[in-house]
């Protein structure tokens, strides 16, 4: 049985939902959200993601994950659970 999948964003072969690059970016985004929540009481996940997209410091891998997450929200899902 082949347990290899492809990244939901870039389609690289992986054993998880995202490739290692997008998974690492997702973890950094989620860690940052906790900090933003503490600093900006009540900021939503969606607002946080939109604000990150505006920052020139946000890298390509993170931008990919953010756009993926925003598309999920648009389609009625709150956050990637993988």
Q: Strand 13-14 to strand 5-6: parallel, antiparallel, or no bridges (unpaired)?
A: antiparallel
Q: Which residue has the tokens 């931008």?
A: 63
- 8-55: per-residue pLDDT in tens? 999 999 999 999 999 999 999 999 999 999 999 889 999 999 999 999
Report DSSP state, residue 81: -
Q: What is the pLDDT of residue 38?
A: 93
pTM: predicted TM-score of the whole model, two decimal places? 0.85
Q: What is the pLDDT of residue 30?
A: 97
**What are residue 5's DSSP bridge partners?**
14
- 56-79: per-residue pLDDT in tens? 999 999 999 999 999 999 998 765
More confidently predicted of 19 and 1? 19
Which of the four pLDDT bands, split at 50, 70 and 90, describes residue 82? very low
């Amino acid at each position: 049985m082949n347990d290899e999948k492809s990244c939901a964003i870039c389609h690289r072969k992986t054993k998880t939902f995202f490739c290692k690059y997008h998974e690492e970016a997702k973890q950094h985004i989620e860690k940052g959200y906790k900090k933003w929540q503490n600093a900006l009481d009540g900021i939503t996940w969606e607002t946080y993601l939109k604000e990150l997209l505006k920052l020139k410091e946000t890298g390509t891998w993170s931008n990919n994950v953010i756009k993926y997450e925003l598309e999920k929200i648009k389609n009625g899902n709150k956050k990637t659970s993988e």
